[in-house]
Structure 1
């Protein structure tokens, strides 16, 4: 992996991997800002910010900025009045019930009137908007994104990234648009985007598997923000304000907190002048707050068991807390995942030999991300054929963990795991957009040089390394076991979902 690095005078970093096989450049712009920095009561605001800053700037997304400015000022003033009223009424707005509708946001008539005024002002501002300007320009000039969405970006626990692949002759568009977005964003369509993001969160929570996965995350560690859903908590959507969003934007969207990763048909000699023209013109700002780096607290009492009472496909999750990316043990954990998971892995083979086949995976997912600079998780997950198989499946998974801890590892299986990782790495090298994402993610978590070191270290790991790492982390005091059944022995009690569905036509599902 040949990565070229160039840092502008204002701290803006450029990473380039040349790949001249096709006339296209994959571009990813990364900011070290994510859901882990969000304070209580504002979970999900960084993901929300990602959507809002794609609504335009002072020069993009408007048909008449002069006509917009008085409306935007009135929106600001009205929101400040709403904040003052909410602060004054804070005791009346407190949630006091045990079971409640998470969309039944506490309010007062005065607050409702101010909120309605904000909706009306946004409708007035929409008359002057040109919707999705940058996305349309990108598409008209050969743009291609990792996911088909007019917000070509993603936000997770410790990053936000913007991505676009363009022909080399149109790369200047990316530099022009994204540099402008860093300093001159206008929060148009704020109320509409609030409900767009809320709809995404509700879509996830409507799936029983998502609710189970988030429950596992919730019991894994005490108060560590890496396990908080990056989409946010539903009640917090009533607390979001533009003022809180501007504070995050001003603190973190600065050149010395940004990295541009390019993979494709480009050279550093051609890229640096563009970067100097657009990103180099931005002033270096104070270093962003270090609120992202919060130490993990262990769960008191160690081992945790979660028995899910909502009907779900039979499954067992065995989870262990593990170090973040950049820790010297992480390459070995990659090898362990390749060794244990999959139909030909240790767990799948053990279950097949016992006459209790199950689909087994081994990964590092927390929420829906697999790599963190903060401590994360190793997951061994088995989908069983029936509830009656769950006890056998759990014993088999714990038996595989014991084999790893004791070094009972077949040499052929270890080599197959190494080959599996080599193939995975070759696939990344063959896909410029995925490679740009991988490099940027590692650089945001730590530094891009950690990535080639990781690849080399996991290929060199031995049985002794696997045994040492497994014995260190795969211990009962560091473990969570979660079980779901198709027919749980007891049903769940009232929840916010029961109240939400009750208000919808039909059965609400």
Structure 2
């Protein structure tokens, strides 16, 4: 009990300090925009001699054309491969080999795409030639040089991730190594070399096989989302379909890279032990003369209004699983704030309506959750995900979910429920901002998606204004059969 008590006290102190910090966030965030369009967000706090440095590019898989699907995710992998000076022993000697690899790969792909009309001998010859050239190129490669340099200089958490909405690169490092970060990342932005492209493409294809093609849960997710979005690129998998990946080329990737992964589409957050004026000077010195790229254009296509329920079944060697999704607007639309309330009202914690009914009382499910997906820049889905508890079925869980959604249309949210939601929001905001990395992530995320990082400080205020009548109105408007998407796994018969 003493250990638990100490933990509670520590958490309370951390949450209190973070809450106090959050209240002054508007005054603490300093902004600077370079002439090339790069946005710099800084928060100075000296809790430790470290800095979280995050770079968010406003380009994700939703921005790919039909012949580019999977490029943003593949480029996330490729940008760890180095530059003209890092990751290579001799770029001048390496480049001609890379060019020959690309020419050979293009010929091989052109032959393969003929399918039944392809020449097997030609494919065999080009495959052998490509393998030989890739072997030759290996002698110039210095593996993981970015990571090694950061590790030798005290860096940690070096990583990247790609989503529908954007691509982010992150590192935590000692504050006296900030210039090293600026040097490395500006070099990567200016001089990235997509070496080992086709071997890395094979790695991504294997990732796809393992996580989606051979995994019923992954296949369910892809099928469910693709069913829900017939026109909008939100429906396409971030990793790409297998045939998409097979037809990606280094040339296509380089064009996408040079077009969009540029200062005018970048948001940088530096949070931690910094002097903002010195940080600005450092960023200007290393990034200021990089030419801007092409602004990422908005996606013009709009998903047509759904005219009836869509159901997707995946039969696989897995336990039953259920997803129910409804089309909805995205932030900062007023109804999106109402969905944030509904999300917490339904599945946040043991006293939430769906958790209490499905998991605790009826014992129909082992778990239930809700969230917005697959992206946030464009209208998305409100999704409820549940796992039936044996011997109960998907159909039983689905029916129970609909009962609770109907309750939302008739049974007003209580003052206690709203206060519990506001308390939880305050705790979560505090927790996320307690670390330099958490705050850097939120600053870059909301600056990119909502158009301003100030969404962070406005969100709870707007949620507090939501009324029980708002919840009833939104539930009636969106939770309809016509607007409903259902996906489920049926276990394969033994």
Alpha-carbon distance in 2 for matches of 1:33, 1:94: 37
Task: Indicate the residue corresponding to 1:13 in structure 2.
Answer: 39
CA deviation after TM superposition for structure 1 residue 283, in Å? 1.9
CA deviation after TM superposition for structure 1 residue 433, in Å? 1.0
Of 183, 190, 194, which residue of structure 1 is paired with 2:197? 190
Alpha-carbon distance in 2 for matches of 1:122, 1:486: 43
Of 210, 217, 228, which residue of structure 2 is paired with 1:220? 228
Task: Indicate the residue corresponding to 1:463 in structure 2.
Answer: 468
Q: 1:298 to 1:120 in 2, by over 3 A?
A: farther
Of 75, 99, 104, which residue of structure 2 is paired with 1:49? 75
Report if aligned partners of 1:36, 1:158 keep a CA contact under 8 Å in 2: yes
1:400 and 2:404 correspond: yes
Map 1:118-137 → 2, pairs under 5 A: 118-137=130-149
Alpha-carbon distance in 1 for matches of 2:454, 2:331: 12
Of 356, 361, 372, which residue of structure 1 is paired with 2:369? 361
Of 410, 422, 425, which residue of structure 2 is paired with 1:421? 425
Task: Indicate the residue corresponding to 1:378 in structure 2.
Answer: 382
CA deviation after TM superposition for structure 1 residue 487, in Å? 6.3
Alpha-carbon distance in 2 for matches of 1:125, 1:445: 40
Report if aligned partners of 1:409, 1:463 keep a CA contact under 8 Å in 2: yes
CA deviation after TM superposition for structure 1 residue 407, in Å? 4.1
Q: Deviations over 1:410-449 (max 9, x none)?
A: 3323322222222211110112212211221222223222
Alpha-carbon distance in 1 for matches of 2:206, 2:268: 30
Alpha-carbon distance in 1 for matches of 2:63, 2:363: 47
Of 207, 212, 231, which residue of structure 1 is paired with 2:215? 207
Task: Indicate the residue corresponding to 1:315 in structure 2.
Answer: 321
Q: Number of aligned pairs? A: 464
Map 1:75-154 → 2, pairs under 5 A: 75-82=101-108, 85-86=110-111, 92-93=114-115, 108-145=120-157, 152-154=159-161
Secondary structure at 2:315 match in 1: coil
Task: Indicate the residue corresponding to 1:495 in structure 2.
Answer: none
Alpha-carbon distance in 2 for matches of 1:459, 1:137: 47
Deviates more, 1:15-24 or 1:63-72: 63-72
Map 1:257-268 → 2, pairs under 5 A: 257-268=265-276
Task: Indicate the residue corresponding to 2:5 in structure 1.
Answer: none
CA deviation after TM superposition for structure 1 residue 293, in Å? 4.8
Alpha-carbon distance in 1 for matches of 2:260, 2:47: 35
Alpha-carbon distance in 1 for matches of 2:161, 2:259: 19
Report if aligned partners of 2:62, 2:234 keep a CA contact under 8 Å in 1: yes
Q: Deviations over 1:32-52 (max 9, x none)?
A: 111112232442122111211
CA RMSD between the two structures: 2.3
Alpha-carbon distance in 2 for matches of 1:324, 1:272: 33
Task: Indicate the residue corresponding to 1:433 in structure 2.
Answer: 437
Q: Deviations over 1:112-169 (max 9, x none)?
A: 42343233222212112211111111111111116xxxxx211111211111011110
Higher helix share: 2
Q: 1:51 to 1:316 in 2, by over 3 A?
A: closer
Alpha-carbon distance in 2 for matches of 1:12, 1:277: 13
Q: Which blocks of at least 5 consecutive residues in structure 1 are unaligned?
A: 96-105, 147-151, 492-509
Alpha-carbon distance in 1 for matches of 2:429, 2:119: 52
Q: 1:475 to 1:81 in 2, by over 3 A?
A: same
Alpha-carbon distance in 1 for matches of 2:338, 2:446: 17
Secondary structure at 1:130 match in 2: coil
Deviates more, 1:440-449 or 1:27-36: 440-449
Of 229, 242, 248, which residue of structure 1 is paired with 2:237? 229
CA deviation after TM superposition for structure 1 residue 262, in Å? 1.6
Report if aligned partners of 1:119, 1:191 keep a CA contact under 8 Å in 2: no
Task: Indicate the residue corresponding to 1:65 in structure 2.
Answer: 91
Q: 1:290 to 1:464 in 2, by over 3 A?
A: same
